[in-house]
Amino acid sequence: MQQRTLGTSGLQVSALGLGCMGLSFGLGPATETSEAIKLIRDAVERGVTFFDTAEVYGPFVNEEVVGEALAPFRKDVVIATKFGFEPDPSNDGKWTAANSKPEHIKQVVEGSLKRLKTDTIDLLYQHRVDKNTPIEETAGAVKELIQAGKVKHFGLSEAGAKTIRRAHAVQPVTALQSEYSLFWREPEESVMPTLEELGIGFVPFSPLGRGFLTGTITAQTTFAAGDIRSTLPRYNGEARDANQALVEVVGKFAEQKRAKPSQVALAWLLAQKPWIVPIPGTTKLARLEENLGGATLALSAEEVRTLNEASAAITIQGERYSEVNARLIDR
C-alpha cells in the first residue's frame, strides 16, 4: 500500500489505517478475541501499518487486543491510542467524564503501554478537549512523556482551530483526528486551513459515515444492543430516510466507476489532501479488503469536483451526536 506522511512530522503510515474500536466497543457485541486478532493481522498482511485504539474502548479491552495482535509486527507498525476520559458518577459511571490533567495522562500512559505490549506509543491523542484543564498543561504533560521516550508524537481529537494552535505552541501536534467524510464535511472550513498552515496531518474517523455511505443501512435496519448509532439522531427516524439522498449519489457514482460505494467514499477523502489518512473500521475480512480497494481507486479532479458539488447540495438531517457527547466537542 502507498505510504503517507502525517503533516510535516515525518510520521509515515499506510494511506489507509484501521480503526479498531468496533472490534471491542460501540457497534454491538464485541468480536471474539481470536477473531479480532486475526483481522488485525490480516490487515498487516495487506499492507496496513497504522492502527487506532483508545483506553476507553471497552474500556481497556481494545488496547489489549491490539497489543496482542501487533506484538509480532511491532517494529513495522504505528500504534495510536488516546487518553482523556474517566468514569462519570453523574452518568451512571459511564466513561464520559473528561480528564486531561497531567497526572492523569501519565497514569493512563503507563496502563496503555502495558496493554499494548510496547515501550513507546507512536501517536498519543487527547481523546476530547478537557474544558477544565488548560490545553497548555495537557500539551506540556505529553511533551514530558515524549522527552522520556514513552511517546513519540502528540495528537488531538475533535479539537477546534484555536485549541490546536495553543497546543501546537507548546508541543508540536502531529495529527488531528476528527470525523470527516462525504457525510460530514464541516472540518473543511473549521480546521483544515489551520492544519495545512501548521503542517499537521488529518486522520478522519468514521470516513464511511459509520457505515451509512456503504448503502447497507436502510429504513429496515435495526441496530444491535450496544451499537452507538441507535443513540445518534442522524441515523434514526426521518433523518435516516432523508439522508439516503447522499447514499444514492455515492451509489450511482460507484456504479459508473465499477467500484463499491465505500471505495468511492475513501478515494474521495484521499484525494482531498496528501496528508489525510482515513481509518475505516470493520469486523469482517471481506469489508477490510473492500475498504482497502479505496486506496487504489483513482479519481480525476473532475470526478472529485462532481462529488463535492453533489454532496454539498444535500443537507444532512439530524445532529451528529446526542446531547451528552455533543458537549465534549471543542469548537
**Three-state DSSP string of the chain:** CCEEECCCCCCEEECCCEECHHHCCCECCCCCHHHHHHHHHHHHHCCCCEEECCCCCCCCHHHHHHHHHHHHHHHHCEEEEEECEEEEHHHCCEEEEECCCHHHHHHHHHHHHHHCCCCCEEEEEECCCCCCCCHHHHHHHHHHHHHCCCEEEEEEECCCHHHHHHHHHHCCEEEEEEECECCECCHHHHCHHHHHHHCCEEEEECCCCCCHHHCCCCCCCCCCCCEHHHHCHHHCHHHHHHHHHHHHHHHHHHHHHCCCHHHHHHHHHHHHCCCECCCCECCCHHHHHHHHHHHCCCCCHHHHHHHHHHHHCCCCCCCCCCHHHHCCCCC
Q: Which of 215, 217, 225 is nearest to 263 (CA)?
A: 215
- Note if the bond before 29 is cis, omega within 30 degrees: no
57 included as an active-site residue: yes
Backbone torsion region of residue 101, taken as left when φ is above 0, otherwise alpha when ψ lies between -120 and 50, otherwise beta = beta
Q: Which of 134, 103, 116 is nearest to 55 (CA)?
A: 116
Q: How far is CA 68 from CA 49, 53, 116, 284, in A?
A: 15, 13, 7, 18
Residues 6 or more apart whose Cβ sits within 8 Å of residue 112? 55, 63, 81, 83, 121
Strand partners, 323: none
The one catalytic residue in 57, 125, 180, 235 is: 57
Q: Which residues are catalytic?
A: 57
